[in-house]
């Protein structure tokens, strides 16, 4: 599940250690051990696991789905673990339930592309917190493999072996390349259960800093309830909504999110990030502004928060055309009309648009469904070769898939590289 979370999925496994003052035993006093827990935002999150010696490990969380009861969520955990494609897609990831939501937990850095992290555990504050500075290093130019083949420099240390001998993924592979480093974000995780992801100026929006609040796992079911509520609003009510102005929210929406917003406002995070984030204190308004098209999930004009899975079709490629390359399933989100979505695929190179099921197959890639005229929730579609022999069996067929909102040209999903 790699969407808006692209910035987070490239993180490395973290372990921090520092000398701490003795924890207070007074009731109500927060200590470093209280950092242990989940920190969620929209459709991704982080888990902090504190050790008894106050070292810690941080993992990445993807939200699989939320359910009405714990029993439903537990049943879904069992079903996910039995899915034959789960290990192929997520490797040694862990699946678990919290507050009726199902999460997929992976090590930060499982898709490392040159991002590094500096973490500091701060205990000299009223509320202990972790500060994590995220820096991205991009290689420039070309890398020469041992056999003389050259590959783009940004393929070095990206988690995929592109040289026949795998030397592009070696520990010192980037030493011969020019590189440029940029601080892209700072993450704050506080012992009161709240946090903030602060994107550096120019990363998310030109000449501005963007801040995304994080909260305990208990906020996720409420966020899903806001989606249900928005889906049931009238067109007039939706048209009157301005995501960053809570005074335009209908009463039932304001009532639903008021406690979540108040808890965030009362946390230590606004004080920590005031100078960076302009003092915003509304968690839910920020989330809804981030994914403001959630209310349009059942129309052809926009998308809600979607998630997809991509995995190899298992084809032994030949010189024939029309061979299946990958399967793509719609895991989260409402049914999609083919008139509103663009599917793109790259095969060992640049992206090209695939022909949707309601169109005649062309030279590039083609999408096949079950002929019901839509991409339904839970449905698995097939991306195949068109009239061109895209994957000819003479080498590795490395594939990435993008899903794009046709009306706005906004990217709503991009997969990892799949060895088809």
Answer for the pair 97, 220: CB distance below 8 angstroms, yes or no: no
Q: What ranges do the domains of the chain cover?
A: 1-141+177-296, 142-176, 307-419
Q: Find the mean pLDDT for residues 116-135.
A: 91
Residue 188: predicted pLDDT: 96
Q: Which residue has the higher pLDDT, 268 or 18?
A: 268
Q: Which residue has the higher pLDDT, 33 or 413?
A: 33
Answer for the pair 54, 10: CB distance below 8 angstroms, yes or no: no
Residue 169: predicted pLDDT: 84
Residue 7: predicted pLDDT: 34
Dump pLDDT digits (tens) for 374-410.
888 778 899 998 888 888 766 668 889 999 887 667 7
Residue 70: predicted pLDDT: 94
Q: Find the mean pLDDT for residues 178-183.
A: 82
Pseudo-torsion of CA 409, 413, 414, 419, nearest 10°? -130
| 366 has pLDDT over 80 | yes
Q: Find the mean pLDDT for residues 83-104.
A: 82
Helices and strands per DSSP (H, E), number in the chain: 8, 24
Residue 416: predicted pLDDT: 84
Answer for the pair 420, 325: CB distance below 8 angstroms, yes or no: yes
Helix (H, G, I), strand (E, B) or coil at 272: helix
Residue 231: predicted pLDDT: 75
Q: Find the mean pLDDT for residues 338-352.
A: 85
Q: Give strand ranges (E) for 18-125.
A: 37-41, 44-50, 56-66, 94-98, 101-107, 115-122
Instruction: Categorize the per-residue pLDDT at 195 as very low, low, confident or very high, splitting at 50, 70 and 90.
Output: very high
Answer for the pair 296, 255: CB distance below 8 angstroms, yes or no: no
Instruction: Categorize the per-residue pLDDT at 314 as very low, low, confident or very high, splitting at 50, 70 and 90.
Output: confident
In terms of Cβ atoms closer than 10 Å to its own Cβ (0-12, 13-18, 19+), residue 367 is buried
The pair of three-digit structure tokens given for residue 27, joined into one six-digit string: 């009731």
Range from 101-115, 143-157, 344-358 carrying the lowest mean pLDDT: 101-115
In terms of Cβ atoms closer than 10 Å to its own Cβ (0-12, 13-18, 19+), residue 276 is middle
Residue 295: predicted pLDDT: 36
Distance CA 24, CA 128 (A): 12
Answer for the pair 340, 351: CB distance below 8 angstroms, yes or no: no
The pair of three-digit structure tokens given for residue 359, joined into one six-digit string: 């169109």
Instruction: Categorize the per-residue pLDDT at 180 as very low, low, confident or very high, splitting at 50, 70 and 90.
Output: confident
| 25 has pLDDT over 50 | no
Residue 85: predicted pLDDT: 65
The pair of three-digit structure tokens given for residue 210, joined into one six-digit string: 């963007």
| 298 has pLDDT over 70 | no
Instruction: Categorize the per-residue pLDDT at 22 as very low, low, confident or very high, splitting at 50, 70 and 90.
Output: very low
Answer for the pair 30, 129: CB distance below 8 angstroms, yes or no: no
Question: What is the pTM (predicted TM-score) of this model?
Answer: 0.64
Range from 14-23, 171-180, 380-389, 408-417 carrying the lowest mean pLDDT: 14-23
Helix (H, G, I), strand (E, B) or coil at 146: coil
Residue 204: predicted pLDDT: 56
The candidate with the shortest Cα–Cα distance to 229, out of 249, 213, 259, is 249
Instruction: Categorize the per-residue pLDDT at 95 as very low, low, confident or very high, splitting at 50, 70 and 90.
Output: very high
The pair of three-digit structure tokens given for residue 277, joined into one six-digit string: 């984030």
The pair of three-digit structure tokens given for residue 242, joined into one six-digit string: 């301005």
The candidate with the shortest Cα–Cα distance to 103, out of 53, 61, 133, is 61
| 186 has pLDDT over 80 | yes
| 132 has pLDDT over 90 | yes
Q: Which residue has the higher pLDDT, 5 or 262?
A: 262
% of the chain residues with pLDDT over 90? 27
Q: Which residue has the higher pLDDT, 231 or 71?
A: 71
Dump pLDDT digits (tens) for 231-278.
788 878 877 888 778 888 888 889 999 999 999 999 999 999 888 887
Instruction: Categorize the per-residue pLDDT at 56 as very low, low, confident or very high, splitting at 50, 70 and 90.
Output: very high
Instruction: Write down the mean pLDDT value for the chain.
Output: 80
Residue 49: predicted pLDDT: 96
DSSP 355: B
Instruction: Categorize the per-residue pLDDT at 162 as very low, low, confident or very high, splitting at 50, 70 and 90.
Output: confident
Distance CA 42, CA 294 (A): 11
Q: Find the mean pLDDT for residues 58-87.
A: 86
| 121 has pLDDT over 70 | yes
Pseudo-torsion of CA 309, 314, 317, 320, nearest 10°? -80
Distance CA 244, CA 396 (A): 47
Does CATH place domain 142-176 in 4.10.400? yes
Residue 131: predicted pLDDT: 95
Architecture per CATH, 307-419: Sandwich (2.60)
């Amino acid at each position: 599940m790699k969407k808006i979370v692209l910035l987070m999925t490239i993180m490395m496994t973290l372990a921090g250690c520092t000398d701490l003052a003795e924890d207070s035993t007074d009731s109500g006093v927060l200590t470093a051990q209280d950092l242990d827990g989940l920190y969620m935002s929209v459709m991704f999150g982080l888990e902090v696991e504190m050790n008894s010696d106050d070292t810690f490990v941080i993992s990445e969380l993807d939200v699989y789905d939320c359910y009405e009861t714990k029993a439903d969520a537990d049943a879904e955990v069992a079903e996910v673990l039995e899915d034959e494609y789960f290990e192929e897609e997520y490797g040694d990831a862990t699946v678990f339930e919290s507050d009726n939501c199902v999460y997929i937990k992976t090590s930060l850095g499982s898709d490392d592309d040159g991002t590094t992290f500096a973490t500091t555990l701060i205990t000299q504050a009223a509320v202990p917190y972790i500060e994590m500075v995220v820096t991205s290093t991009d290689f420039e130019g070309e890398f020469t493999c041992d056999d003389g083949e050259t590959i783009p420099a940004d393929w070095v240390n990206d988690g995929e072996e592109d040289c026949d001998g795998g030397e592009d993924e070696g520990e010192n592979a980037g030493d011969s390349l020019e590189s440029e480093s940029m601080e892209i974000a700072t993450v704050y995780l506080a012992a009161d259960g709240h946090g903030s992801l602060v994107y550096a100026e120019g990363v998310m929006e030109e000449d501005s800093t963007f801040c995304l609040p994080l909260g305990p796992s208990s906020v996720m079911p409420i966020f899903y309830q806001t989606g249900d509520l928005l889906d049931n609003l009238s067109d007039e009510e939706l048209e009157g909504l301005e995501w960053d102005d809570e005074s335009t929210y209908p009463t039932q929406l304001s009532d639903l999110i008021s406690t979540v917003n108040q808890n965030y406002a009362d946390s230590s995070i606004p004080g920590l990030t005031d100078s960076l984030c302009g003092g915003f204190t509304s968690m839910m308004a920020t989330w809804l502004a981030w994914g403001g098209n959630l209310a349009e999930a059942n129309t052809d004009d926009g998308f809600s928060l979607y998630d997809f899975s991509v995995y190899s079709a298992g084809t032994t490629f030949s010189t024939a055309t029309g061979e299946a390359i990958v399967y793509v399933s719609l895991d989260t989100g409402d049914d999609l009309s083919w008139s509103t979505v663009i599917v793109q695929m790259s095969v060992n190179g640049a992206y090209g648009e695939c022909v949707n099921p309601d169109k005649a197959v062309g030279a590039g890639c083609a999408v096949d469904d079950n002929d019901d005229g839509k991409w339904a929730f839970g449905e698995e579609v097939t991306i195949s070769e068109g009239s061109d022999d895209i994957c000819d069996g003479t080498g590795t067929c490395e594939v990435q898939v993008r899903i794009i909102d046709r009306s706005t040209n906004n990217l709503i999903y991009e997969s990892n590289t799949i060895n088809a």
